[in-house]
Amino acid sequence: MLIMAALAIVGLCGCDSFSGKSVQVDYGESKLYTKEDIDAAVDVIKEMFDDDNHKGVILDSLSYGGDDFCRESNVKDANMKVKNLGINEEMVEVISFGGVFHTLDYKSGLGKQFPENYVDEFCHWYLARGKDGKWILYDAGYC
């Protein structure tokens, strides 16, 4: 009984960030990436929701953007953007996700005020990786 109470308290403590919350992932179909590849990219996005700038933001779901995104023009764009982030490694693959998040009482680091329980279904995340296989989040935004 004491263990159950402790788990309930720990669960409540994580309610204002990603920590401890399950995110629904739509893997779609891919001939380029394994489930493990996609999961590794998803983990990078989840980590973003654990930082101080995302307190009060709950990531609900992510959907793989499809193999068509991994084309040469997007890899070239990713290389330019990661260089602007101070990363000199050459990126060889890119991956994208659409997703849904909602907010509690949240104000972003950019000063944009979201109302309580705001839901956004149009956010996208773009990641790239070099030959080392580690995904890097290089862009995110709205369509």
Edge to edge, what strands does the sheet with 135-142 contain? 24-26, 57-64, 91-103, 119-130, 135-142
In the block, tokens 């995302």 appear at: 54
Token digits for 70? 């991994």
Element (H, E) at 34: none
For range 75-80, the mean pLDDT:
97
CA gap 74, 122 in Å, rounded: 20
Please give the C-alpha separations between residue 39 and each of 45, 73, 100, 121, 142, in angstroms, as whole numbers.
Answer: 10, 24, 17, 20, 22
pLDDT value for 50: 81
Q: What is the pLDDT of residues 106-117, one digit of tens each?
A: 555 434 556 666
Q: Please list, in sequence order, all residues whose beta carbon lies within 8 angstroms of the beta carbon of residue 133, skipping any fewer than 6 positions away.
A: 40
Please give the C-alpha separations between residue 12 and each of 15, 57, 71, 115, 117, in angstroms, as whole numbers.
Answer: 5, 15, 42, 21, 17
Most confident of 73-77, 101-105, 115-119: 73-77
> Is the pLDDT at 81 greater than 90, yes or no?
yes
